[in-house]
Structures are given as structure tokens and as C-alpha cells.
Amino acid sequence: MWRFIASRLLQAVPVLITVVTLTFFLVRFAPGGPFDGEKTVLPEVKRALEAQYRLDQPLWSQYLSYWGDLLHGDFGPSFRYPGRSVNELIAAGLPATTELAFYALLVAVVVGMGAGLAAALRPNSWRDYLPMALAMIGICMPTLLLGPLLVLVFGIELEWLPVSGWGDLPGDKILPSLTLGAAYAAYVARLTRGGMLEVLSQDYIRTARAKGLPEAVIIGKHALRGGVIPVVAFLGPAFAGLLCGSFVVETVFQIPGLGRLFVQAAFNRDYTMILGSTVFFAVLIVVFNLASDLLAAWLNPRVRGALRGQS
């Protein structure tokens, strides 16, 4: 078990090296620098600015010193916001993004598993077709369309909910969470249905039924545990995906989260912020993939055995 975790963490090392190296050199190739402005900057001022951010040093030495800082957990100073560190910016954007991703995940799990279960219990009836058709819509309706449509209907036309913001007005978290969660809810519904159908056809369920156990116990106690394994395996990457993919929703709803900070940083050539958030996202992906594997293993005795066998 511990060896499994350790080996997975070891695997993350080349990932991070690749991410840092690729991003570091990629952003430097971008035309335009962080200090270009509409009005031409005096050459003396520009030189002084570049010296302050070490931009006057050769690229490889900047690269090495970035690693030096990174290993101390320091993402460096932001170019765009003088006086603020990238750590601080990430810390400022993270709560909104995490909260958004969490609510979206909640929507995905509650709605998705509910729909999937309903469908699996009555396969090939309208109770199966309806949620599955909705799930298909959820998968095919891109966030960038669903968000504005929800705003148009519920925010502008019906005026039930605020159209933007995060934590400023009551209820302003509902639409973004729904928007981001919808596609994932659809996937979860399909996975739950598939997983449940497979489990329900297994012998031990038939045995349980034959023994006359109440249906609720069969479903709740025996079938569900096996049926949700594919969902759990999906949730880890999904949460990472929610965190990284939230920038469209953050743009539509003006949420001051990490995704928007990243996109702004890319446009502003805030080198350190681009690097910092990319590395941060990569770490999140690694961590959540690992967590979901462990959770799936805990739920699935067979995989658990395999893990133990490995160690």
C-alpha cells in the first residue's frame, strides 16, 4: 500500500519536471513582455524593471533559480501585481475555485447518481430512457452554452437568481455550480447506471434476492458498494478536471477564482503566475488521481488485494 503511494508520488516527479520546463520556456517565447504598455516605457526604467525580476540574467540561470525557489515552496513574485507573491494570488483564487468545484461535484454526485440509480432499477422503461436522454443532453451541452442559457432564463428573464459573482449576493452560487456540474452529473449518471446494471446481474445479488431480503437492503447495502466503483474512479480525475476546467464558468459568471487568474496571467504575460498556476494544477491532478485510486481500492476488495500483493 505505502509502496504503491510512494511509487505513484515518484511518478509525479517527471511530470512536474516536464510541466515546469515546458511552461517556463513556452511563456518566454510568447511575443510581448510583462512590462510592455500602451505608452513607451523609458529604456532606463525598463532595464531597472527587468533587473528587479531577474529578466536580465541568462535564461538558463533564471530557470535554475526558479527551481531553487520552487523547491522552497516559493512561486516567486507576480509581475502583474507588484508587491504580491504568486503564492498569495493562488491562495486568493483557490477558495472560490475549490468551493465551486465542490458544489459542482455535489451536483454531479447527487443528481448523477440519483438519475443513474433510477435508470438502473427500471432498465428499458421510461424511467431509464428519460434520465439517460437528459444525461446525453448534459454531455452534449457545452458549459459555455449552458452557462449563458441558464443566466438568460433564470437570471435575466425570470430574475430568480443573480447573474454573476460569487458570495456577493444570496443565491449567486447556484447557477455556476449547476453549469459546471451538469456535464459531470451526466457522466456520473451513465457510469452509475452501467455499474449498477452489472452488479445487479451478479450471482450474489440473485442469491440475496432469493433469500428474500428486502429490495432496499439489497440495493443500499450490497449492490451500491460495487456499483459506484466506476463512479469513484471517475471522481478523482473529475475533481481535478473541475478545478482546471472551471475557467469558462469563472469567465461567464465573473468568479474570482484560479482559472480566471490563470487566463488573465496568460494574457498579461505574468510569467511567474502562469508557471505557478500551471504547476499547481499539475500537482492537483496528481493528488486527486491518486486519491481516487486509493478510494476505489478501498471500495473494491479485489483491487485491495492486488495492491497488497504489490507491496
Partner 1 sequence: MTEPVDATQEQGTSLWQDAWWRLRRNTLAVLSACLLLVMALACIAGPWLSPYGYEEQNLLLGAAPPSAVHWLGTDGFGRDLLTRILYGGRISLMVGLIATGVALCIGVTWGAVAGYCGGRIDAVLMRIVDILYALPFMIFVVLLMVVFGRNLLLLFFALGAVEWLTMARIMRGQVQALTQQEFVEAALSLGLSQRVILFRHLVPNALGPLIVYTTLTIPSVMLLEAFISFIGLGIQPPQSSWGSLIADGVETMEEYPWLLIYPGLALSVTLFALNFLGDGLRDALDVRAAKD
Partner 2 sequence: MVPALLRLLCWSGLRARPLRRCPLGGLAAPVDMAARLRTALLLGSLLVLGACGGEPTRVEQGNRDGVLHVGNGTEPQGLDPHVTTGLPESRIQDTLFEGLVSKDPATLEPVPAVAESWELSADGRTYRFHLRADARWSDGTPLTAEDFRWSWWRALQPAIGNEYAYMIFPIRNAEAYLTGKLTDFDQVGVRVIDPHTLEVELNEPTPYFLQIVDHHSYYPVPRHVIERFGSPTDRFTGWTRPENFIGNGAFTLAEWRLNKHVRVEKNAQYWDADAVQLNAVMFYPTENIVTEERLFRSGQLHATNDLPTDKIPDLRQTMPAQLRLEPYLGSYFYSLNIRREGLDDVRVRKALSLAIDRDAIVDTVMKGVVKTAYSVVPPGTIGYEPPEGLIRFDPVEARRLLAEAGYPEGQGLPPLEILYNTHETHRKIAVAIQQMWKQHLNLDVTMLNQEWKVYLDTRENRDFTISRYAWVGDYVDPNTFLDMWTTDSGNNKTGWGNAEFDDLVLRQIPAMQSHEERLAGFRRAETILLEELPVLPIYIYATKHLVSPSVQGMPQNIMDYISFKRVSLEPSD
The region of 55-63, 71-79, 82-90, 260-268 touching partner 1 under the rule CB under 8 A is: 260-268
Q: Does 182 bind partner 2 (CB under 8 A)?
A: no
For residue 274, give Cα distances in angstroms to 37, 79, 124, 280: 19, 10, 49, 10
274 binds partner 1 (CB under 8 A): yes
Residue span 132-171 as binding mask against partner 2, x where in contact by CB under 8 A, dash where not: --------------------xx-xxxxxxxxxx---xxxx
- Decide if residue 282 touches partner 1 (CB under 8 A): yes
Distances (CA, A) of 236 to 88, 103, 138, 306: 26, 15, 20, 20
Give the total residue count for the chain: 311
Q: How far is the CB of 270 from partner 2 (least distance, A)?
A: 10
Q: Which is nearer to partner 1, 129 or 298 (CB)?
A: 129
Give CA separation, 68 vs 214, 233, 254, in Å: 62, 35, 35
Q: 247 is in the binding site of which of partner 1, partner 2, none (Cβ under 5 to 8 A by kind)?
A: partner 1
d(CA 148, CA 159): 14
Amino acid at 163: V
Across 211-246, b (16+ Cβ under 10 Å) vs e yields: eeeeeeebbeebbbebbbbbbbbbbbebbbbbbbbb
Q: Compare residues 103 and 187 and give the one whose CB is closer to partner 1.
A: 187
Residue 274: name the closest of 284, 283, 264, 282 by CA: 264
Q: What is the footprint of partner 2 within residues 68-87 (CB under 8 A)? A: 77, 80-84
Q: Does 9 bind partner 1 (CB under 8 A)?
A: no
Residue number, 15 or 51, with CB nearest to partner 2: 51
Contact criterion met (CB below 8 Å) for 255 and 249 = yes
Stretch that binds partner 1, among 70-78, 103-111, 247-255, 298-306 (CB under 8 A): 247-255
Q: Is 269 in the site for partner 2 (CB under 8 A)?
A: yes
Q: What is the total count of residues that contact partner 2 (CB under 8 A)?
A: 58
CA 298 to chain centre: 22
Helix (H, G, I), strand (E, B) or coil at 162: coil
Where are the alpha helices (H) located in the chain, listed in sequence order?
A: 2-29, 43-52, 59-71, 86-121, 126-140, 143-150, 174-200, 203-210, 215-217, 224-227, 229-245, 247-253, 258-268, 271-299, 301-310
The residue among 6 and 156 lying less far from partner 1, judged by its C-beta, is: 156
Residues that bind partner 1 (CB under 8 A): 11-12, 14-15, 18-19, 22-23, 26-27, 29-31, 136-137, 139-142, 144-145, 148-149, 151-152, 156, 230, 234, 244-245, 247-248, 251-252, 262-263, 266-267, 274, 277-278, 281-282, 285-286, 289
Residues that bind partner 2 (CB under 8 A): 30-33, 35-42, 44-45, 47-49, 51-52, 77, 80-84, 88-89, 92-93, 103, 106, 152-153, 155-164, 168-174, 177, 254, 256, 260-261, 267-269
